[in-house]
Structure 1
Amino acid sequence: MSSASHPSLKQLVLVSIPALVVGVLSGLLLAGIDIVAEALEHTLWETIPSSLGVQEHAGWWTLVVMTVIGALVGLALWKVPGHGGHDSATVELFAPVLRLSALPGVALVLILGLAGGVSLGPESPIIAIDVALTVWLLGKIAPGIGTQGAFMLAAAGMLGAMFGTPVAAALLLTELVAAAKRGGLLWDRLFAPLIAAGAATITMQLLHAQSFALDLPEYTDPRLVDLATASAVALIAAVLGVLASIAMPPLHALFRRLRHPLLYVTVGGVVLGLLGWIGGPLTLFKGANETGELIAEMDSYGTWQLLGMALIKTAALVVAAAAGFRGGRIFPAVFIGSAAGLFGYSLMPDMPLALAVAAGVLGAVLAIGRNGWLALFMAAVFGGSMASLTVLTLALLPVWLLVARAPEMIVGEGEPDDLDERDASYLDPHEPTTAEAGPTER
């Protein structure tokens, strides 16, 4: 390989500066969205019901809040420019770049969903916002990076901010780098995105923001039987993910028969309210804090209650995405996997607790997200040791055999969505672009 394939030291240093800026801004953006959503969540679920004398965790209040949130999101999808961005049921984690005028609407529906208890995480919408802002900003101050480079920096920064480590960004972005099929060393191309991811991670840590609050004993003593039990638990969780993937397209089509976003998102809110009423408060929201609470309070739940929460959260995830709410699937998948792991631990109490939860997370995230790197990484976070990583790597194999030929949890491109393309312009981040090919307002 010729030296021309390698960027110079000066080029690496110069790209590191905008990468640091993008990383810090990514962390601040996520923290800002979280602060606003948490304030609204406190108002909806504590201040208002307390002032009205509503009993804590009253099921009917869950139904009321979710119905109102559904109506508000539906109204935003109908009237706000950009219509809330991409339909979360129709896009992967990384979607085409939105134009700037669509971003306030995306932020609005994201905050409403996070605060209202919708079973979706912030991933897809917050990455879409970050990417669009970064493409615009770097187009002004560092045009040489180009649209594709800006996309990579923003995606890496937000992944680092959300998952609390730059390693997650490195693992996920290897697929985008490979897809680009361009010359040069992999780590040369990941240099700047890793800086952005690291800067975003540190920003979130300095702000004391935490994705998952865990209280699990470290798994340090692997046994041969652990391979079998971890695989069994991972398969249980993966089956839930496969069922969700099968249910998504027909349910998406069923909601769209109502023709109008105000109607079908409101109906989705009603269904989510009923599911939350049945499943209880832990089955609401994106699932990060709720996962920690579930693990801490696991002794309060019976075996079949744990399975019930996993099933209800799976149903809520599918309904939320199919009904038009905006959000990601990884955070809810982690809750589903944790509940499935605790269910497996209840059936096999000799199994190490950390390994049971990690295996459940592995199966659910792999089946729902279809990314082996991310599934293994998220599971290793719960396992907490190199010993767990070894077992989980082997447990991943039978799960992949199950999900490899199963449908993905996404609606095909030919399915209708509620995004009016006349109000959004897109850039394909996988296509090579010049510095001048930035986002345009139409």
Structure 2
Amino acid sequence: MRPVTTTDHAPPATPVRALLPLIVPALVVGVGSSLLLLAVTAISTRFKNVLWEVLPDALGIGRYSSLWVIVMLTATGLAVGLVVWKVYGHAGPDPATMGLVDPPLPAPVVPGLLLAAVLGLAGGVSLGPENPITAANIALAAWLGRRAMRGTEADLWAGLAAAGTIGALFGTPVAAALILTESMAARPAPGALWDKLFAPLIAGGAGALTTVLIAHPTFDLALPELSGSRWGDIPAAAVVASLGALVGMAAVYAFPYVHAAFRKLRHPVVMVTAGGLLLGLLGTLGGSLTLFKGLDEMKVLASDPTGWTFPQFALMAVVKLTALTVAAACGFRGGRIFPSVFIGVALGLGFSALVPEVHPTLGVVCAVLGVLLAVTRQGWLSLFTAAILAADPHVFPLLCVAVLPAWLLVTGRPQMQLHDDGTSLR
């Protein structure tokens, strides 16, 4: 009998000829995903300038006065509610039931979904563009791709579009690879990991490079350097990340109840308009920095870490957390990553203001890590996002330690995503 060798049990290598035909489609999907993101961002930014600068100036009203904030958010809720009610496809499924990467929606739903997203981004709603843009790109890629390449599966195009969009959002394909790795772990399939990541990495790289070359985005908050780690930073990192996770979990546990309360209003126009009114009231309480998706606003906070007191930082974090919960539950279309990062930045700076021994950079990255773990339940995404906020290599080992106790607090708990019956996913 011939002796058994390790090569007898080795899985067959994926032929190069199976990967090469995916290069061009991956490049096209990646570039297209980035261009759609950039287009939506540009349109919403121009519309935001009209709503929050041109219009109030013409009317002689303060740009961020309490009256204008309430009027604008309520009007935004009314507009989005009308889109959800009347536009074909109702701007997609209930966003409370949707994740960042989901199966493709029907392509005709995309215009209404993007319109609702643009209105929310421009109107000051505390949600980001990531969920609707990713859903739109997946729907379009699956619809066009399966017509261009007969016999291909929708999952192929969904993976390429998700990678291209996430790469474009973060300006690097690394984030896309990390998120897709978690997805593949949840749905294991035979084959080498890098064979399965080959085309998505191309799409993510194309999307990232397109965004970087056109828009030059950056997540670096220009925080003070740590100048080396100290022994005391280890427990501080673990405590801050755990506190951030607990704060995020407060929103997660409240989410199904807030969602159920809005569903009692029944009509989408009433639900989203009521949500807009609540967001307007929250905006008057927390100030203008608690409006919008939070990317530009968190840079304002980080530019002056000592410019606010602990109660002020805490108030902004609580208001933003409440606004995120309300916006996601009442029917606005948007993502939760960017508002969660703002919450983490405010919390981290607040912890540093309360306990000066906690370095501001350490406080920010660890609090962001904790909040994102609770809200997204994606470890790699949370680690990556927290790390890119500070261009300081000393934060990496601290984050790798801090993620462990924070993950123990969130794993197995309800998620900030609901089943169709209104119960939380786990």
Task: Pick the TM interval, shorter chain.
Answer: over 0.9
Q: CA deviation at 1:17?
A: 1.1
Whole-Å Cα distance in 2 between the matches of residues 361 and 190 of structure 1?
27
Equivalent residue for 1:382?
389
Identity of aligned residues (%): 46
- Structural mapping, 1:25-424, within 5 Å: 25-143=32-150, 145-210=152-217, 212=219, 214-415=221-422
CA gap 1:334/1:20 in 2 versus in 1, 3 angstroms: same
- Letter matched to residue 318 of structure 1: T
Distance 1:79 1:350 in 2: 54
Q: Does the 8 Å contact 1:344/1:356 carry over to 2?
A: yes
Shift of 1:38: 0.3
Contact 1:162/1:211 (8 A) holds in 2: no
1:194, distance to aligned residue in structure 2 (A):
0.6
Partner of 1:429: none
Greater relative CO, 1 or 2 (CA 8 Å, sep 6+): 1
Task: Choose 370-379 or 51-60, whichever is displaced more.
Answer: 51-60
Closer/same/farther in 2, CA of residues 279 and 189 from structure 1, 3 Å limit: same
Cα contact 1:317–1:329 (8 A) shared by 2: yes
* More moved, 234-243 vs 377-386: 377-386
Q: CA RMSD in A?
A: 1.6
Q: Would you say the 8 A contact 1:355–1:383 is kept in 2? A: no
Amino acid at match of 2:222: D
Contact 2:219 2:389 in 1 (8 A): no
Unpaired segments ≥5 residues, structure 1:
417-442
The answer (yes or no) to whether the contact 1:18–1:142 under 8 Å persists in 2 is: no
Structure 1 moving runs of 4+ over 6 Å? 1-4
Question: For residues 371 and 188 of structure 2, what CA distance do their matches in structure 1 show?
Answer: 30
Give a deviation string over 1:395-416, Cα, whole Å, max 9, x none: 1111111112432112233229
Aligned-pair distance for 1:25? 0.6
Output the CA distance in 2 between the equivalents of 1:96 and 1:81.
Answer: 19
Aligned residues: 416
SS at match of 1:299: coil
**How far off its partner does 1:84 sit?**
0.9
Alpha-carbon distance, 1:145 to partner: 4.1
Once residues 219 and 11 of structure 1 are traced to their aligned partners in structure 2, the CA distance between those partners, rounded to angstroms, is: 47
Relative to structure 1, is the Cα distance of residues 398 and 61 closer, same or farther in structure 2, using a 3 angstrom cutoff? same
> What is the deviation of 1:209?
4.4
Question: Cα distance, 1:211 vs. partner?
Answer: 5.5
User: 1:425: which partner in 2?
Assistant: none
Q: In structure 1, what is the Cα distance between the partners aligned to 2:79 and 2:223?
A: 38
Any conservation in 1 of the 2:236–2:358 contact (CA below 8 Å)? yes
Letter in 2 for 1:392: L
Q: 1:13 to 1:3 in 2, by over 3 A?
A: farther
More displaced stretch, 154-163 vs 292-301: 292-301
Contact 2:306 2:353 in 1 (8 A): no
Worse-matched range after superposition: 343-352 or 366-375: 343-352
- d(CA) in 2 for partners of 1:392, 1:140: 44
CA contact (8 A) 1:98 1:132 kept: yes
Amino acid at match of 1:176: S
Task: Show CA shifts across 1:176-213 (max 9, x none).
Answer: 22233221100110011011001100100111242535
Q: Which amino acid aligns with 2:397?
A: T
Asked if structure 1 preserves the Cα contact closer than 8 Å seen for 2:105 and 2:135, the reply is: yes
**TM-score (normalised: structure 1):** 0.91
Identify which range, 6-15 or 328-337, moves more after superposition.
Answer: 6-15
Instruction: Provide the C-alpha distance between the structure 1 equivalents of 2:268 and 2:56, rounded to a whole number of angstroms.
Output: 28
For residue 343 of structure 2, what is the amino acid of its counterpart?
A: I
Residue 3 of structure 2 corresponds to which residue in structure 1? none
Q: 1:3: Cα distance to partner?
A: 7.7
